[in-house]
Amino acid sequence: MGPRPALACLLALLALAGCTRQPVRPAAQPRYMVGQPYEMGGVWSYPREDFGLVETGLATVALDQRAGRRTANGEIHDPAQLMAAHRTLQLPAVVRVTNLETGLELDVRVNDRGPASPARVIELSRRAAQLIGLRPGAAAQVRIAVQAEPSRALAAGLPNPEVPRLEVQAAPIAAVQREDLAPPPGAAQAGRVREARALPGAGRAVEAVAGPAVQVPERLPEAVARVPVQPGRLYVEAASFSRRDLAERQAARMGGRVDAIGPRGRQTFRVRIGPLPGVPEADRALEATLRAGVSEAKIIVD
């Protein structure tokens, strides 16, 4: 084969390569959702709306380092943005994540379900983990707290397909008969009160109390704060009971102990294992507890 046919073949191959279709990135279809119970990692989770949630546990880094897939609520995953996954929170929500081991904290947008492991409380995007000092493949003690105002603003500003639309028919309109009656005693005074409430500036005062609507950007700013370092001890914790005998029964199943909390007469009884010396021991203790049938058990920091 001479140089010209070889060149022609090369050009043809290049042309075919140029015609190869690139994968199409799905369009974002963000929505507000709570969702139905589901199974992940062998454990059932029950999503619920909670604008006051504060909890501790171990955080992990999302393994998916590619941008482009659609999250559980229809947004687009981007490891370079401050995103996260949680098993039960409403989606989306704004959550403040504090690394108790480094004292670094920032707000993330929870828009996906996870982590896959029930031993982890939250799964952070690569960038969010990097900013608070969490390495891929590692786990860090964290405290997470839902930020109520921006989370409520997200709930109000996105479509919610879980709420059924009600078809309301207009009431029939009939002729209205009117008859003027003599004003009762004190009517003039009541009228003056209504006029006083309608003076200029009254409406503006109400607006000032309500305050402006919270605007939540799609891309949260990388606003990292530093707080005191507060590493704690790891425990596997199950449910709390109002009766000691029920707590002792569960403690026997999981090999734990019962701690009484609160004043006498109004005590609750907490079942837990620990303190545990490290993450591997906590993971093993949780796995054994789940195998014993205590499905609500989790790792906490105290």
> Taking the domains of the chain in order of start, what are their residue ranges?
38-158+219-226, 234-301
Overall average pLDDT of the 193-215 stretch: 43
Indicate the CATH number for domain 38-158+219-226.
2.40.40.10
pLDDT above 90 covers a percentage of the chain that reads 67
- Which CATH superfamily groups domain 234-301? Sporulation related repeat (3.30.70.1070)
pLDDT at 8: 59
Q: pLDDT at position 186, please? A: 47
End-to-end CA distance of the chain: 76
Q: pLDDT tens across 149-163, in order?
A: 999 999 999 999 987
pLDDT (average), residues 19-40: 81
By mean pLDDT, which of 45-49, 61-65, 227-231 is the weakest?
Answer: 61-65
- Mean local confidence (pLDDT), 262-273: 92
* pLDDT value for 22: 53
Residue 94 has pLDDT above 70, yes or no: yes
Say yes or no to pLDDT of 144 above 60. Answer: yes
Residue 71: pLDDT above 60?
yes
- 97 versus 205: the higher-pLDDT residue is 97
pLDDT, the chain, mean: 83
Residue 182 binned pLDDT confidence (cut-offs 50, 70, 90): low
Q: Say if residue 201's pLDDT is above 50.
A: no
pLDDT of residue 218: 85
Angle (nearest 5°) at CA 85 between 81 and 91: 95
